[in-house]
Every structure is written in C-alpha cells, then in structure tokens.
C-alpha cells in the first residue's frame, strides 16, 4: 500500500487531537460533580430546585469561573469546549423570534398621511404572504405602491438616511429600507446575545436565519424557566419616566365621564366607577383596582371616543406590571380559606393615570444593577449620563411630594413619591420584585432598547425530566446498536476480519466525537441517531471490501493479493456511495433546521470518518496482520455465511413485468389513500402547538381528544379548531396537538391554553391529574404535568413546507446529475431516479395508509422529510454499487449479452446488498425500539424505506436502466441493420 507512513501519521495526529478535545468533556464533568457535592453540603438538600441549592451551586461555579483548572484553560473556557448536550438531552428551549419588519417600515414613514398609505401596503403584503408568496416582505410592500411613489412615503425634507432623494425609484428605496431592516436585525441579534450571556446559559446557539427576513433562532440548553426567558427576550427595553395625575386631580373628570358613558349605554348602563373597583386614594395615581375578567372592558371604555372627549387630552392610563393579590370573600364578606389553611386570593390589576408624554427616556440610562434593600426589597439601581442627570434633577425638583411613574414597555413598574430633588443621576426601580425579576430587568436595561416589536413565531420547550429520559433511551440504543453490529460482522466474516472492522467502527466513533468537540458542537438525540446510522452505513464499506476479497480468493489468489484487489475493486463503489450520502447530508444542512441540522452534521462527519477508517486504516491493519505469511488461512467467511448466495442465479430482469405490476398496484393504493385519507401533517407543516403531558393515571386518548375538542372549540367559538391526542411510551403520557389561536402571540394566549388544558383534563371522569395544582401542571420542569411545549406559527410552517419540497426536489436532481456524471449514460440516471422517486412516494403512501392505526405518531413533518432524504441517499448508495458492478462487467466483457451482464451483476452484488440492508436494519430496529418516541416515527420511515429501497434497487432501477439501454441499442441497430430489429437482447 502506497503512502502508508503518511496515512499512519495522519491517524496518530487525529487520535491525539481528538483525545485533546474530548478530554474537556471529562474535565467539565469532574468539576460539575464537585459543584453538586458542594451545593448539597451547603444547602443540606439534594433537591436541585431548592433556592439554597441553586445559590450554593452558583456560588461554587462563580468562584472557579476564572480559575485555571485544566492545562492553561479556565473553568469557563473548559465548559465552552466540552461536547454540549442539546435541548432534547438536557432540557431547555428552542425559540425563533421575529423582529417586526412592518414596525420598522412604519418608523420611517414621512408623516401621518404617508403612514396610512404604508399601512395599507403592509396589510396587502401580509395577506399575500399568508397565501405563500416567496417574495421578500419589503418587496411585497413595494409591489402595492405606485411606481416612483415610495420615495415620497419614506423621505423627510427631501432625503432618507442621507442616501435617497424624493425622486428616487421604488427599487432604490426598497434597497435602502432593506439595509435599515438588516441593520436593526443585526442590532437585535447583538442585544439577544448580550441578554442571554447575562442570563448565564451555557453553550447557547444564536443565529440569524438566512432568507427569513428578521428571524433569529435561539437554542438555550438547560433553561428551566422558559416563560422568564421569553419575557426577557421580547422586552423592547423602552424605559420612560412620566408625570402622573393623582386620583384626587382626575376624580371629577372620571365621574363626569362615567355618568356620560352610563347615559350613552342605554342597554347595560355600565357603571365605570364600579368596574374600576370603586373610589381610590386621593394622592395616589391609581385610578382602578380591576379584576382580570374586567381588564378588556376597561381598556375598551377608556379608549372610546367619549373618553377622549370627556377626559383631559394628556391623560392616558397604563396597567401596572404585576398584579396585586386580593383576598377572596364569600357572599357574607368573610375571607375564604384554602384546604391548607391559607387565605384564598385572586389577582387584581392597578390602573395608573399618566400625564402627557414621557419626561425622560431610557436612553439616558448608562448602567443598571440589581440590589437587595431591607426596607424596599429587591430593586434595580440605575445610573444616568450627564444630560439625563440634569433632566432628572429638574423633574424631581418640580415634582416634590408627588409620584413619578417608571414605565417599561408600556407597563408601570413603580410610581415612587419624590421626597426631594435627586442629583447625580442615580435612581431606583422598585416593584415587589423577586431576585430573578430584578436581575432580568437590570439585564434588559443594560443590553439596550429594541427598535421594533419582537414576536415568538416558533417555540419548543423541553423539561429536564424528558431530557434525562431521552439521554437514557438515546445512549441505550447507541450501545446496543454498536454491540449488535460488532457481533454481526464477526458472525458473517470471521473473528479477525470482524475485529478489524469493529476496531474501525470504534475509531470512526472516536474521530466523530473528537471532531464534534473541536467544532464545539452540541450533541442532540437526532445527532446520536445520525452517528448510529453513519456507523451502520460504515459497515457497508467493510461489506463491499470483504465481499470483493472473497471473490478474489475464490479465483485462487493468495490472501495478501486478494485483500489488495478487494480494496482496489471496492474503492469506486465506496467513494460513490459515500459521496451521494454526503450530498444528501449537505442538502439537509441547508434546508433543515434544529434537530435535522444536528442529524445531518453528525451523519456527514461520520461518513467522512468511516471512509478514512474503512478504506485506509483497516487496510493497514490487514497488511500488518498478514505480514510474513501470518493468517494465510483467513477466508472472510464463517460456517454461517460460507455458502450464503454463493450460487445465486436469479433472473431479475426476467421478472420485471411482475415487479412492474406490483409497483403499479402499490402506487394505485397510495394514490387512493392520499386522495381519501390524506396525510397527517405535523405542526411543522400545518402550524400549531404540541404539549407533552405526564398524567397521574392512564387515559383513553380518544376520550381526552373529545373533551378537549369541545372545550377549545367552545372557547374560540370556532368549529375549525382541531385537537389531536396520542399516547407516548405509556398510557399516562399524552401528546396534545392543537391549532387553537395559533396566529396569536403573547404570554396571555399561552396561559389561556394552559388553563383550558388543565380544566379539561380535570373534568375527565377519574380526574387523571389527581391533586395536581394548575401551577404544578404548567411548569415544564417536573416529571408531571406539561413536560414539553412546541409552537410553530403559520408563517414558519409555510417556510418549512416550502423548504421540504425544495430539499426533496434538489436531492433528486443532484442524484440524477451525479450518476450521469459518473456513468456517462442517461439510462443509469433515469433508472436510479425512478427507483428513488418510487421509494419516496411509497413511503408517503404507506404513512397515509397507516396513520391512526399504529400506536405512535406518523406525522408528515421535518423528521419525516429527513428520513425520506436519508433514504434517497441510502438507496442511491445501494443502486450505485450495483451500477458500478455493471459498468465494470461491461468493460471486462464488452461483447457479452447485456441481459446476462445485468443479471450477473445483480447476482454478484446480491450478498453485499442484503448484508448492508440487514446491518442497517439492525441499527434502525435498535433506535426504533430503544431510542424513545422522539425519533420513533423517523426510524419507522427509515426501516420501511430501507426495505422498499432494497427491492427497488433490484427490481426497478436495474430493469429500467436495461430497457432504456436496450431501446437505444435497438434504434442504433435498426438504423444500420433493419433485419435485427426486435431482438430481445443486445450486445
């Protein structure tokens, strides 16, 4: 073997480098264990949710964060270089945020009149986008504005951002606006990164989504308070200081307005003062103490035209950020007690009367920090710049004895009374904060103000208990698959060849993990599936080499020569099959997101490593083993496999009409099912929310679905609301899917759905929730109640669906072009693509036929598309090996009857085809039964695809390629010797 020394050197360097990077994971694990031991010793508890435990753990980590703990690396650096655990293994959240491009456009409108025109174009652009338009949002807006008119809408005083004139074309204005949007998205990206870094998430992944205007993806492993993180991210940090009306000052106007409103409301005679909770304190700016049920009514009343005419023009009312807990009284006015003896309370919201515009903006704040004061509790200290300090001194001097309202994102946080003039630019925000709330508020103020509204368009929350379960299932399937592969190789090819192949598999795994660690990648459950599948497909290279070596031995060649020829003859098939699979992986990387990218990354790395270990390192091992005549009796077979397919003489081409009839029948069944039953689209493609709920008792999913459907349709007053319920793993764990209010955002909607789920499940006979409270049910951090939440908005679902179609289409085109390039004959390309298309279509048809009958989810979602794309790569791999042998035989025997050449090639590669399929099925079955519900649908599609794909390679790809070649040859012969036309075979 040439370049043996060079390859050995590369292998040694890889071993050392991978060992170096993998070592960081062990070091991190060591220090994490020490931190946990310290926290247990200090807090006297093993409860990781205990505040003392969390405080002690943070104290230990902070103390060693900057200390050098390994080589010359600090603990903080070591943690960043470990192989991180993904969301599905560690728990956490995956969220896609969208910066509101319409908001940004409105900011640049030249005036009120122009803003109305811009808003009209925005509404039309949003409607067009809802229909599935591929155009950029700004381009859609521009299409609804008259040519040449955009400049007048977005230029002030003849210029826009110093680069456009009032006579600039629509295209120039569109380009300038896009630059502004990109700039503000970049700024938002940096703000998000700052806030997440300050929050303390280890190994976050934050990235701007290409071709998704204004969208940013955040993957935050280990996050245990998703609602807190969402609020932190969505806050625009628009801090303002307002003068206020006291109740005493506004009471007369409120009473006059209330009388006028009651007189106008001739049906209900609404008592506005009663809605506001009665008269308030005279010197306070609070004008209402309102129950949650009445908030919407109060908002509507105070925003009515009558209110604007009767109340002062500079008056506007804003709700306080946090509700006030008020005791619940019975009909006699006595306080109601709960079962535990505590008084029952209900939240009421204070309404604060603001006066005029903000007297000071938040951009004057230069720093903020959270502190604890014995008198005022947790608070936020602020420091202002010189200009802000001067204005703040003036404001406080003019308002001595009066409250000043501190407003953030249109919510009043506090309204402290000014006792004297405040100089020096220091101030505090109080508001009955918890330590976490005070810290988050300080972080928001420090990170800067968002320029536009932020919406959550996709959200996936996984509780740690579900993550721990996934870890166990993922690694169990991983270990069992490796062991079975090793046993398989030894039992089929003998102890020494099997051990060499197994060492190659272990090195493959080692290199894959080392490369992942060097890239500071995050390992997910789908990533583990990618590694396991790559190992299963790596066996294919060994099978090809060993089968070719057996053929050379059968020809009477000596062992070392047979091994050399086996590697040489198998190289092109291995190269082609690996490259086609890598191409599929690259397409998944480009068009996939989240778990699909993780799967694709590990699959690509695993395939590259398998090529290096199987083609080069195992050959060096065989040369060392067989040196000096050692192991001369090695046969690459065992008693089990010695005569397997040795005398195979199946007439595959002779059965093409029968196989064609079978394929047509299956196609007709699939088409009929798709037309009648359709497909069970997951929320990836339809939009919606998924909730995985752990109940205290077993349930009938159809009963749960019936109760929830009635409850949600009634609440929404909409019969198009859908609900789906399936059990996961056990009859007491269910996944609930619904499209209820999917187009709406906000914490209020999420809380509303959680409440509806809780009350509905409680009402089911037998009460499967038991004594679980609503707060226990809602926290995605326990082993009961909601343990994971996934939300996909309609726009994201449309994008995913479009990307899926593109991915499949591009994969098929790439396969067609690659085979055309390698085999220089369109017959092989058409045969391969027809077989691939047939396999993909039958998988879709099979899912249409079977969904609802099998005891697990069979949804058409991103994971399903990933399975289809992987099968495309796998089958092309399978087909290329057969075609490669046909090409080789055609070169060796150019005058042989092609009918015989095709049949011989199919029979000669039959052992390899079936051995590879069996080894891959072994791996997939391990993942299917042991890998957990998260990837069960994916692996089921893979299992069906491998089985169908194997038959398509034998009974579809080769017969089609043969018939096209035959027709081409018949035409050529007919042109020269018409008498030969109609021959069944050709040379």
What is the reported pLDDT for 128?
82
Do 848 and 957 fall within a single domain? yes
Same domain? For 346 and 373 the reply is no
Same domain, 788 and 818: no
Is the model more confident about 624 or about 331?
Answer: 624
Please report whether residue 659 resides in a domain: no
982 belongs to a structural domain: no
- What pLDDT does 987 receive? 42
Q: How far apart are CA 95 and CA 230, in angstroms?
A: 8
Total domains, the chain: 6
Q: Are residues 423 and 504 in the same domain?
A: no
Q: Clarify whether residues 942 and 896 are in a common domain.
A: yes
Which of 44-58, 524-538, 620-634, 757-771 is predicted least confidently? 524-538
> Are 104 and 165 members of one domain?
yes
The pLDDT score that the predictor gives to residue 843 is 94
Q: Enter the tokens of residue 772.
A: 């679980």
Is the model's pLDDT at 883 over the cut of 60?
yes
- pLDDT over 90 percentage in the chain: 29
Report the CATH number that the domain containing residue 434 is assigned in CATH: 3.30.1360.200
In this structure, are residues 897 and 615 in contact, taking their beta carbons and an 8 Å threshold?
no
Terminal Cα-to-Cα distance of the chain (whole angstroms)? 37
Better-predicted residue by pLDDT, 168 or 901: 901
968 membership: H or E segment, kind and range: helix 958-976
Residues 767 and 705 reside in one and the same domain: yes
- Do 13 and 77 reside in the same domain of the chain? yes
Q: Which of 722, 723, 728 is nearest to 695 (CA)?
A: 728
In a domain, residue 367? The reply is yes
Residue 589 pLDDT greater than 60, yes or no: yes
Output the domain CATH number for residue 702: 3.30.70.3400
**CB-based contacts of 562, cutoff 8 Å, min separation 6:** 549, 552, 553
pTM (predicted TM-score): 0.68
Query: Does residue 240 belong to any structural domain of this protein?
Result: no
Domain encompassing residue 268: 247-278+288-312+342-352
End residue of a domain, out of 792, 818, 843: 792
Residues 897 and 818 reside in one and the same domain: yes
Six-digit token string for 504? 């190659």
Task: Give the contacts of 428 (CB within 8 A, at least 6 positions apart).
Answer: 376, 379, 380, 381, 382, 416
Asked whether residue 816 is assigned to any structural domain, the reply reads yes
Q: Is 986's pLDDT higher than 50?
A: no
Q: Residue 845 domain-assigned?
A: yes
In a domain, 643, yes or no: no
Q: Same domain, yes or no, for 63 and 165? A: no
| C-alpha span between 585 and 356 (Å, rounded) | 59
Mean pLDDT of 421-433: 82
Q: Could you tell me if 829 and 966 lie in one domain?
A: yes
Helices (H), 717-789: 747-763, 774-778
Beta-bridge partners for 789: 461, 691
Give domain status of residue 151, yes or no: yes
Of the spans 125-139, 519-533, 542-556, which averages the highest pLDDT?
Answer: 542-556
Q: What is the pLDDT of residues 644-665, one digit of tens each?
A: 777 778 899 998 889 999 999 9
Boundary of a domain, candidates 415, 449, 483: 449
Domain-ending residue, one of 296, 322, 352: 352
Q: Report CA torsion sign: 525, 531, 534, 539.
A: negative
One domain, residues 43 and 105: no
The set of residues, in sequence order, having a beta carbon less than 8 Å from that of 761 and lying 6+ positions away, is 693, 695, 704, 707, 768, 769
- pLDDT band at 162, cuts 50/70/90? low
């Amino acid at each position: 073997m040439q370049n043996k020394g060079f390859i050995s050197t590369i292998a040694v360097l890889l071993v050392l480098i991978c060992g170096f990077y993998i070592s960081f994971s062990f070091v991190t694990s060591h220090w994490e264990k020490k931190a946990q031991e310290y926290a247990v010793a200090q807090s006297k508890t093993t409860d990781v949710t205990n505040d003392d435990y969390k405080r002690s753990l943070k104290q230990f980590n902070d103390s060693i964060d900057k200390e050098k703990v390994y080589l010359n690396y600090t603990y903080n650096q070591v943690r960043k270089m470990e192989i991180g655990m993904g969301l599905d293994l560690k728990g956490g959240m995956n969220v896609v945020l969208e910066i509101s491009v319409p908001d940004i456009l409105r900011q640049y409108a030249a005036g009120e009149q122009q803003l109305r025109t811009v808003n009209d174009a925005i509404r039309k652009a949003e409607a067009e986008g809802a229909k599935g338009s591929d155009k950029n949002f700004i381009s859609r807006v521009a299409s609804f504005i008259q040519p040449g008119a955009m400049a007048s809408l977005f230029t002030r005083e003849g210029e826009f951002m110093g680069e456009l004139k009032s006579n600039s074309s629509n295209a120039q204005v569109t380009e300038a606006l896009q630059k502004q949007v990109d700039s503000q998205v970049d700024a938002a990206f940096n703000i998000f990164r700052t806030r997440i870094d300050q929050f303390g998430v280890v190994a976050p992944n934050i990235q701007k989504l290409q071709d998704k205007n204004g969208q940013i993806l955040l993957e935050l492993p280990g996050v245990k308070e998703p609602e807190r993180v969402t609020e932190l991210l969505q806050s625009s940090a628009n801090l303002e200081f307002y003068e206020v009306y006291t109740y005493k000052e506004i009471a007369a106007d409120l009473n006059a307005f209330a009388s006028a409103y009651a007189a106008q409301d001739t049906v209900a005679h609404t008592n506005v003062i009663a809605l506001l909770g009665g008269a308030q304190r005279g010197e306070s700016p609070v004008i209402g103490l309102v129950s949650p049920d009445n908030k919407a009514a109060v908002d509507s009343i105070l925003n009515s035209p009558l209110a604007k005419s009767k109340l002062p023009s500079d008056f506007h009312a804003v709700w306080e950020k946090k509700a006030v807990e008020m005791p619940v009284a019975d009909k006699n006015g006595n306080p109601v007690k709960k079962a535990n003896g505590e008084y029952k309370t209900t939240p009421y919201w204070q309404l604060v009367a603001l006066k005029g515009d903000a007297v000071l903006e938040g951009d004057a704040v230069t720093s903020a920090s959270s502190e604890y004061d014995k008198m005022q509790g947790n608070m936020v200290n602020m420091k202002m710049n010189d200009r802000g300090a001067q204005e703040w001194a003036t404001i406080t001097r003019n308002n001595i004895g009066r409250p000043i309202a501190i407003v953030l994102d249109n919510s009043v946080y506090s309204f402290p009374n000014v006792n004297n003039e405040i100089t020096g630019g220091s101030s505090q925000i109080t508001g009955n904060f918890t330590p976490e709330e005070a810290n988050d508020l300080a972080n928001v103020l420090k990170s800067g103000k968002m320029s536009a509204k932020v919406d959550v368009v996709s959200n996936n929350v996984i509780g740690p208990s579900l993550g721990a379960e996934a870890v166990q299932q993922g690694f169990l399937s991983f270990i069992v698959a490796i062991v079975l592969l090793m046993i398989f190789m030894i039992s089929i090819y003998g102890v020494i060849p099997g051990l060499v192949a197994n060492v190659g598999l272990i090195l493959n795994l080692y290199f894959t993990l080392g490369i992942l660690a060097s890239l500071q990648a995050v390992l997910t459950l789908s990533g583990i599936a990618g590694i396991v599948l790559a190992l299963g497909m790596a066996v294919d290279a060994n099978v090809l080499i060993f089968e070719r070596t057996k053929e050379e031995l059968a020809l009477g060649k000596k062992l070392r020569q047979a091994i050399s020829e086996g590697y040489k003859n198998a190289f092109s098939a291995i190269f082609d099959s690996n490259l086609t699979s890598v191409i599929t992986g690259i397409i998944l990387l480009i068009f996939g997101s989240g778990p699909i990218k993780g799967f694709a990354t590990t699959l690509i790395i695993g395939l590259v490593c398998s090529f290096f270990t199987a083609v080069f390192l195992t050959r060096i091992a065989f040369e060392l083993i067989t040196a000096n005549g050692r192991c001369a009796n090695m046969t690459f077979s065992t008693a089990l496999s010695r005569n397997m397919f040795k005398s195979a003489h199946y007439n595959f081409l002779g059965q093409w009409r029968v196989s064609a009839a079978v394929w047509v029948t299956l196609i007709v069944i699939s088409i009929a099912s798709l037309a009648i039953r359709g497909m069970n689209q997951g929320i990836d493609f339809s939009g919606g929310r998924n909730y995985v709920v752990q109940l205290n008792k077993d349930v009938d999913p159809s009963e749960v679905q019936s109760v929830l459907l009635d409850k949600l349709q009634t609440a929404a007053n909409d019969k198009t609301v859908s609900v789906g319920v399936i059990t996961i793993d056990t009859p007491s764990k269910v996944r609930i899917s619904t499209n209820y209010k999917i187009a709406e955002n906000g914490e209020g909607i999420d809380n509303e759905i959680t409440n509806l789920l809780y009350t509905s499940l409680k009402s089911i006979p037998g009460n499967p929730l038991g004594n679980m409270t609503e707060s226990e049910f809602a926290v995605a951090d326990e082993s009961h109640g909601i343990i994971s939440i996934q939300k996909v908005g309609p726009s994201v679902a449309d994008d995913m669906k479009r990307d899926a179609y593109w991915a499949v289409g591009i994969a098929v085109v790439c396969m067609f072009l690659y085979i055309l390039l390698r085999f220089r004959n369109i017959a092989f390309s058409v045969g391969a693509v027809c077989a691939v298309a047939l396999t993909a279509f039958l998988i879709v048809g099979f899912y249409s036929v079977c969904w609802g009958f099998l005891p697990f989810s069979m949804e058409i979602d991103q994971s399903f598309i990933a399975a289809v794309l992987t099968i495309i790569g796998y089958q092309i791999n399978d087909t290329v090996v057969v075609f490669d042998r046909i090409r080789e035989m055609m070169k060796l025997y150019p005058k042989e009857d092609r009918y015989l050449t095709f049949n011989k090639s199919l029979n000669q590669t039959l052992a390899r085809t079936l051995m590879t399929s069996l080894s891959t099925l072994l791996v997939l079955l391990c993942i299917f039964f042991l890998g957990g519900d998260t990837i069960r649908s994916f692996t089921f599609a893979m299992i069906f695809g491998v089985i169908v794909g194997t038959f398509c390679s034998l009974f579809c790809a080769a017969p089609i390629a043969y018939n096209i070649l035959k027709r081409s040859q018949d035409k050529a012969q007919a042109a020269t010797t018409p008498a030969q036309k109609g021959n069944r075979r050709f040379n």
